[in-house]
Structure 1
């Protein structure tokens, strides 16, 4: 895979990083524990002694703890719990480059992507962070205008990426120190931990890093990552088959191939679900095998029941419905792939193939339809219940005393909201036998004169119920709108300047008490 010189360089780099890592990890542990204790005692002191310096002290302490934590993460990367998965480095490069769009005005990016479908097994998030750090360094190395060139290609059994810039370059005597924690070529800032993370991540992926740099001309990082045995072994996996097997037995014998294929095809779905901590990867695989078992047995009622259970569970989560649809698509694709291999191995007739595929398709379609129906129904129910709460808050009729109430209208009043107010208000007035209601407009904003005409219509409805409506809190802007209306409309209004004055007047009026 690598020539002898590359292997020697790689072993040398690993030994250097390993030694540095052990020392760094030891130092970091020794520093982090007392820093954490200091932080705890400072928090206790802060409650007893006031000072304007606490904010500065806490900020500096947090920065120190963060630096130590970063040092630990790059010196002992194996402690990261992230699992290896199929990774397309081209996608990571594209997505990470988009984070630097704000630099487009000064830095031109040239992309030379070849063999874009090539994949490796790796820790996606670690690789994202490493590529981000490399690109960040490239942008920061360019003072003023410049160019960054990003390449991706495959050479035999190695995937190569390179990031080069036209920046200030790195002195030749400093190149051997790259990747060492706290070594940096930046004069104003920088801890050197970014490149340490780059080196530790790629070495964990059995990659080789080459750096070519010339002062005042630029720097080029080239990373050569081998396609791992795990990916190749999956691509070369052949299904287990025996002539005595029926289709169900064939799938059971090839469960490992089924699970691995589903993980690859539904990679995005697995990642989203895992990030939201809804269910684990193993849970999703168990669900898939449960569905497959019911499909083979043709247990229609059990399929419907499982689909309804899973539909409600997914509807209660924050997982988008499209994520589940992608998962269903991947599940169907993997099943069809194994069916094809069973057909080729078993040599069954075309009629048997069509009959088998129709039965499996019908069962899968039934599951998906039932899942979507329950999922949508549950989500709609949640939306309706929240809308009911919103409607209740939209018309907050507040009883005051002796069949007198207040309706404070707050916020923008559009036609839809006015319609809700009309329905709720008339119902409440009738139910509570309210004789007088003060409609306070001081916090309301009207979208048009037509909206106020609808409010006048509500007032007419209130009067028809034997209740008097009094409008308060009319602003100068609203007064101008009312002036443009006809005299007939104005005559229908009973107005008081403010709600406070109106309530005070009502309290003095014995006839209205």
Structure 2
């Protein structure tokens, strides 16, 4: 029984690692496709080198997870949300369209505004949504990343003007493991993202219409210190 449970745990962990690897390959694929149009642009060249370095570092981490047979145990801690958003965009350098970041209201005046989370995992969730948005709308589309406050919560929105999803797909398949809007995708990303956000007291919502784009909304409780300062 213990051996069976160990195999099940390893297989589940491996599936998530494979999904992360597929995202990295997709990121490199998008960058290569965009290179045909922007290869003579020095700024794009710098972005491309930074992206390759970031992907290599993340791949090394995933290989270490496979070698260890488990994910590293990490404890959530206060993370600065503006820094996480900027890091998520940086990790997807070379994506086209390049996401635009907008920070609204009180959070725009408070760079220390934070939520309790695992920085790497939250960054990965946002990066996953950004990459999916870029793939959905193509290089000539639009991807917006917004951060604002809603009561005692921070709201992070990723919106695109791409192909969108049907109500049936959202209801029945979007958050089911191994389902995807992509022809050969494994669809773990949305499921894993929602489960992780629930684990830290947050949520993941989606609004979409076929042919009119998609918006994913992350809700996270603000760290207690931030709540007190803003309410005071």
| CA distances 1:414-452 after superposition (whole Å, capped 9, x unpaired) | xxxxxxxxxxxxxxxxxxxxxxxxxxxxxxxxxxxxxxx
Cα distance 1:28–1:218, how it changes in 2: closer, same or farther (>3 A)?
A: farther
User: In structure 1, what is the equivalent of residue 68 of structure 2?
Assistant: none
Secondary structure of the residue aligned to 2:215 is: strand
Deviation at 1:65, TM superposition (A): 8.1
How far apart, in 2, do the equivalents of 1:234 and 1:173 lie?
38
User: In structure 2, what is the equivalent of residue 84 of structure 1?
Assistant: 76
| CA distances 1:21-73 after superposition (whole Å, capped 9, x unpaired) | xxxx96961884xxxxxxxxxxxxxxxxxxxxxxxxxxxxxxx98327668xx
Cα distance 1:221–1:27, how it changes in 2: closer, same or farther (>3 A)?
A: farther
Deviation at 1:101, TM superposition (A): 2.8
User: In structure 1, what is the equivalent of residue 160 of structure 2?
Assistant: 165
User: In structure 2, what is the equivalent of residue 29 of structure 1?
Assistant: 8
User: In structure 2, what is the equivalent of residue 198 of structure 1?
Assistant: 193
Cα distance 1:65–1:125, how it changes in 2: closer, same or farther (>3 A)?
A: closer
The gaps in structure 1 that reach 5 residues or longer are 1-24, 33-63, 72-78, 237-513
* Larger relative helix fraction: 1
Cα distance 1:138–1:233, how it changes in 2: closer, same or farther (>3 A)?
A: closer
| CA distances 1:238-280 after superposition (whole Å, capped 9, x unpaired) | xxxxxxxxxxxxxxxxxxxxxxxxxxxxxxxxxxxxxxxxxxx
User: In structure 1, what is the equivalent of residue 89 of structure 2?
Assistant: 97
How far apart, in 1, do the equivalents of 2:99 and 2:166 lie?
24
How far apart, in 2, do the equivalents of 1:85 and 1:28 lie?
31
| CA distances 1:441-492 after superposition (whole Å, capped 9, x unpaired) | xxxxxxxxxxxxxxxxxxxxxxxxxxxxxxxxxxxxxxxxxxxxxxxxxxxx
Alpha-carbon contact 1:108-1:146 (below 8 Å) kept: no
Q: Does 1:107 align with 2:105?
A: no
Structure possessing the higher relative contact order (Cα contacts under 8 Å, 6 or more residues apart): 2
Matches within 5 A, 1:280-359: none
Deviation at 1:174, TM superposition (A): 0.9
Give the aligned CA root-mean-square deviation in angstroms: 3.0
TM-score normalised to the size of structure 2?
0.63
In terms of Rg, which structure is larger?
Answer: 1
Secondary structure of the residue aligned to 1:95 is: helix
How far apart, in 2, do the equivalents of 1:135 and 1:102 lie?
12
Secondary structure of the residue aligned to 1:210 is: strand
Q: Does 1:226 align with 2:221?
A: yes
Deviation at 1:128, TM superposition (A): 1.4
The gaps in structure 2 that reach 5 residues or longer are 20-70
Q: Does 1:151 align with 2:146?
A: yes
Alpha-carbon contact 2:206-2:216 (below 8 Å) kept: yes
How far apart, in 1, do the equivalents of 2:93 and 2:16 lie?
31
Structure 1's consecutive aligned runs of 4 or more residues displaced over 3 angstroms after TM superposition are 25-28, 68-71, 231-236
Count of residue pairs the alignment pairs up: 169
User: In structure 1, what is the equivalent of residue 129 of structure 2?
Assistant: 134
How far apart, in 1, do the equivalents of 2:166 and 2:181 lie?
9
How far apart, in 2, do the equivalents of 1:117 and 1:26 lie?
42
How far apart, in 2, do the equivalents of 1:168 and 1:28 lie?
38
User: In structure 2, what is the equivalent of residue 462 of structure 1?
Assistant: none
TM-score normalised to the size of structure 1?
0.30
Deviation at 1:95, TM superposition (A): 1.4
Cα distance 1:85–1:234, how it changes in 2: closer, same or farther (>3 A)?
A: farther
